[in-house]
Amino acid sequence: MEVRIKISSFLYSCLFIVFLPSLAFGQIGSKHALGFEGGGGISFLRGLENIEKYHDPAMCFTVGISYQYSFSESFSFFSAFDYERKGSIAKVTATDQSGNTIGDIVAHSNYDYLVLPLLGRYSFCGNNRLYINAGPYAGLLLKSESVTDESDFVPHTELDLSSESFKYDFGISAGIGVLIPISKLMTITVEIRNNLGMVNTRSAVIEEDGGSVKINSTNLLFGVTMPL
């Protein structure tokens, strides 16, 4: 509940900040566009040997407010205030004292971030224009937790790991997509974007052979933009 309140407050604050210049000075011009983006994909952790051995990719999602400034018909700057869920799924086979398999223990590692991508975008010519973009992103951790699924021999548990996790994430984003003009006032975007994390997410983890725990995510994003 606390996380949802923070997210709602953040999104409303972003809307106020973005719309304030327009309210004060009128329309800024067609070079500016505001919109929304959201979608889902897969995410996984990498780094430590045990992480890569026992953790599988998990479903992830992104939703947020986007902003675009067009320098020309082909080149633009794109950014967004996104809420993103990342993580992985760990599955370990449990055995009894005799070594007999009794089932699997499934635990979800969830990382909830506020993410700010800063991307340069190049759009190719055409009615439905193909585009590519790339640039850095920064993330602020809202919550990190480990959630274990209930089974016949393990209860459902939720363990908050926020205090053991690094509060910030940085990395590189790159994507390819298509712009589909619906009218002069609306454009739809469909994009595949990959986020390569560069920061050790678990500050309390003892590094093994210089390793660390980093996050990757790949999302299929749908967006709607409107000029201001």
For residue 16, what are its two tokens?
A: 């106020």
3 state DSSP class of 89: strand
Phi, psi dihedrals of residue 8, rounded to the nearest 5°:
-60, -45
For residue 93, what are its two tokens?
A: 């086979």
Catalogue all structural domains in the chain, each as residue range(s) with its CATH number.
Answer: 2-227 (2.40.160.20)
Question: What is the end-to-end Cα distance of the chain in Å, rounded?
Answer: 34
pLDDT by position in tens, the chain (length 228): 444 444 445 444 444 444 444 333 334 447 999 999 999 999 998 877 777 777 889 999 999 999 999 999 889 999 999 999 999 988 877 777 777 777 778 888 899 999 999 999 999 876 678 999 999 999 999 999 988 888 777 788 888 988 888 899 999 999 999 999 998 889 999 999 999 999 888 765 555 555 688 899 999 999 999 998
CA-based nearest residue to 169, from 144, 138, 191, 190: 138
